[in-house]
Amino acid sequence: MNSNVVIAAIAEEVKKRFEGEGSGHDWWHVYRVWKMAQHLAREEEADMFVVELAALLHDIADHKFHNGDDTVGPRIGRQVLVEHKLPDDVVDHVCEIIATLSYKGAGVTTDMSTLEGKIVQDADRLDAIGAVGIARCFAYGGHKNRPMHVPGEDPVLHQSKDSYFKSEGPSINHFYEKLLLLKDRMNTRIARQIAEERHKYMEDYLDRFYKEWEGDV
């Protein structure tokens, strides 16, 4: 088995599956997570093959687009991996990562059991914050026909997966319900360092947003 050939083939398959996606969960999100995961894996000396596979397939069937069903992603991921005749231990490891890495609410822990899982989770979360994270937040909000901001509508710190999955709040509320919480949930040293700057950028952005919202010059 040539791992580079497998990675290239799966990357091409994922790219085709995500053609025309406009919610911020597109091929370029997968691409950025893939590249960031490679960077973190080199720093942490993790299993690069598992990391790359999990990064490429982590959003292959996101629960947000399957009525909250978070079993679809690992199931389709497994189908892709089996089609490429990968060893059972690799398939199981990657599918475990796909099944457990997503954020499920402020009060819900999503601990990863392996270093490779921690790395892919960090890479995915880093793409949810900073300048790109802000863009993706509003892209998804528009995709779901949600308002940008509703003054007086408080964020909800969801205490269960079901509550979080059913959330339909304004995009600005999502900063407080998820994005601003991610900095302190990074697993690896490098991810924590990167998250610090991106977190600060979001705080500065929100300050500016509220000023402009009220018509300040």
Taking only the tens place, the pLDDT of each residue in 178-206 is 999 999 999 999 999 999 999 999 999 99
Query: How many other CB atoms sit within 10 Å of the CB of residue 1?
Result: 10
What gap in Å lies between CA 1 and CA 70, rounded to an integer?
A: 30
Q: pLDDT-based confidence at 60, cuts 50/70/90?
A: confident
Token representation of residue 94: 């990657």
d(CA 84, CA 170): 41
Which domains does the chain show, CATH number per domain? 3-213 (1.10.3210.50)
Distance separating alpha carbons of residues 149 and 165, to the nearest angstrom: 19
Strands (E), the chain: none
216 falls in which pLDDT band (50, 70, 90)? Answer: confident
What is the reported pLDDT for 35? 98
pLDDT in tens, 77-135: 999 999 999 999 999 999 999 999 999 999 998 899 999 999 999 999 999 999 999 99
d(CA 18, CA 148): 25
Confidence of residue 63 (pLDDT cuts 50, 70, 90): low
Q: Which two tokens stand for residue 150?
A: 């509703």
User: Burial level of 10, CB count in 10 A (0-12/13-18/19+)?
Assistant: buried
Smallest CA-to-CA distance from 58 within 4, 102, 91 is with: 102
Give Cβ neighbours of residue 46 (< 8 Å, ≥ 6 apart).
40, 115, 116, 119
In eight-state DSSP terms, residue 128 is: T
Q: What percent of the chain has pLDDT over 70?
A: 95
Residue 62 has pLDDT above 80, yes or no: no
With b for 16 or more beta-carbon neighbours within 10 A and e for fewer, the 44-62 pattern comes to: bebbbbbbbbbbbbbbbbe
pLDDT of 69 higher than 80: no
What DSSP string runs through 53-93? HHHHHTTTT-GGGTTT-TTHHHHHHHHHHHHTT--HHHHHH
| Per-residue pLDDT at 39 | 98
Which 8-state DSSP code applies to residue 71? Answer: T
68 or 162, higher pLDDT: 162
